[in-house]
Amino acid sequence: MTKGYTVYIIHKVRENLKYDLYDVLTSEGKTVSETFDLAKEHLLVAGQEYDPQDTEPVTLTLQNIALNKIYLTGKTAMTITFPCDRCLEPVPERMELSFERELLSEDLREKAKEGEAEECGYLDGSVLDVKALVEEEILLSMPAKILCRNDCKGLCPKCGANLNETECGCDTFVPDPRLAGLGDILEKMKQKEV
């Protein structure tokens, strides 16, 4: 193993979304840059499948920072259409993703004490699953609440009509269950008066 050298290898855009890290893990000081195409991929985020649009290639830089340890940086951008959290209408959301990770070889991950090394679903042995890495980054970068607009009225709880488009006329009064006992007392008082 040679220490202290830097090699930049820029390949054409890769269709295969798996990358074997063994060479980088075992070559101290080595740096590799790779580009991956996600344009035709379906992404699975939080159990829901999405088809990203206007996808920019994923660019990764993998730098060996110690034997069996890699510092990964990457970026990509895409538009994903999520459902509105209130009315379920489609909401296109532009995601500009920049990420960095410290990756350990399988041996070091096994030796690491519990809590020091995080489990990752994008690393199998020395093989990096770029698609799974991007899916995890999308999940971490998603807004907490996705709305079609700030004043979205949502769906009618009775008939399911989109209240942004129509007034359905359903009775939406829901009594506070904490006051149900008072309602019973008032009803009994009315019956005694009659």
Domain ranges in the chain are 18-141, 153-194
The pLDDT value given to residue 119: 57
pLDDT confidence of residue 112: 66
Longest CA pairwise span in the chain (Å): 99
Q: Which residue is associated with the tokens 């893990």? A: 25
What's residue 67's pLDDT?
A: 83
pLDDT of the residue at 95: 95
Q: In what order do the strands lie in the sheet with 69-83?
A: 31-36, 58-66, 69-83, 90-104
pLDDT of residue 109: 67
Q: Which residues of the chain have pLDDT under 50?
A: 1-15
- What pLDDT score was predicted for residue 118? 55
pLDDT in tens, 47-100: 899 999 999 999 999 999 988 889 999 999 999 999 999 999 999 999 999 999
Q: For position 125, what pLDDT does the model report? A: 79
